[in-house]
């Protein structure tokens, strides 16, 4: 009987600690989310690292994105993508091609406009490790997708505890692929051109670009 009581006590204590960790994690993410939502616009310069030892993949590149509301301008791998709130314009200078598409209806699709807020829904949260990275206190929160059919095994979201901004995201796939996005520069409330999120079709036609509408 005494052993059973001890085991039950340990189980209940562990459940309570896990619940506390989950509550702490959610509270921190809510704080980060509210801070992100308070800015008129955000510019993020980031490093993208993709690794899969079994497949022999080891890629590293950089990119940047400017976000204002649900609009964005995304520069990555020599291409540019603009979303004006209605249409997505993907510009590929190397091919002199522009693809114009409607906004995706897939609520689960990861888009640049969700880059800093994707964690708000669809995950279970757990308090993880605290690391000192170049003098910055980075608190990690483990995100486990609620949808068991997803290809994502887990995500670790690193939060700078000084600024309450996202420092990095480490995503592990069920196939062993590890993707790491690290924020190099985070700027807010910049003075933006009124035409930053406007696609000038005539300009690209004059330059000989092929315009493809999907």
- DSSP letter, residue 38: T
| pLDDT category of residue 134 using cuts at 50, 70 and 90 | very high
* DSSP line for 175-202: TS-EEEEEEEEEEES----TTTT---HH
Tell me the pLDDT tens digit for each residue of 138-166.
999 999 999 888 888 999 999 999 999 99
Tell me the pLDDT tens digit for each residue of 48-58.
999 998 888 99
- Whole-angstrom Cα distance, residue 171 to residue 157? 9
User: Coil, strand or helix: which one is 88?
Assistant: strand
Residue 171 belongs to what H/E stretch? strand 165-173
More confident residue, 100 or 22: 100
- Whole-angstrom Cα distance, residue 208 to residue 204? 6
- Give me the pLDDT at residue 4, please: 41
- DSSP letter, residue 120: G
Structural domains for the chain = 1-213 (2.50.20.10)
User: Contact, 156 vs 143, CB < 8 A?
Assistant: yes
């Amino acid at each position: 009987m005494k052993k059973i009581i001890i085991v039950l006590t340990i189980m209940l204590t562990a459940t309570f600690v896990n619940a506390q960790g989950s509550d702490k994690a959610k509270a921190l993410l809510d704080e980060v989310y509210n801070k992100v939502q308070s800015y008129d616009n955000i510019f993020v310069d980031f490093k993208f690292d993709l690794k899969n030892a079994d497949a022999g993949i080891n890629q590293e590149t950089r990119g940047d994105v400017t976000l204002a509301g649900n609009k964005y301008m995304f520069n990555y791998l020599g291409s540019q993508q603009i979303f004006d709130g209605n249409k997505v314009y993907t510009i590929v200078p190397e091919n002199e091609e522009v693809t114009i598409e409607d906004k995706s209806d897939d609520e689960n699709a990861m888009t640049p406009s969700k880059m800093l807020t994707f964690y708000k829904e669809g995950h279970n949260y757990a308090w993880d490790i605290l690391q000192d990275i170049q003098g910055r206190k980075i608190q990690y929160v483990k995100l486990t997708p609620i949808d068991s059919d997803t290809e994502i095994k887990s995500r670790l979201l690193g939060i700078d505890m000084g600024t309450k901004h996202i420092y990095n995201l480490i995503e592990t796939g069920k196939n062993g692929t590890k993707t790491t996005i690290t924020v190099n520069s985070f700027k807010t409330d910049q003075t933006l051109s009124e035409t930053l999120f406007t696609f000038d079709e005539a300009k690209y036609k004059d330059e000989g670009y092929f315009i493809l509408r999907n």
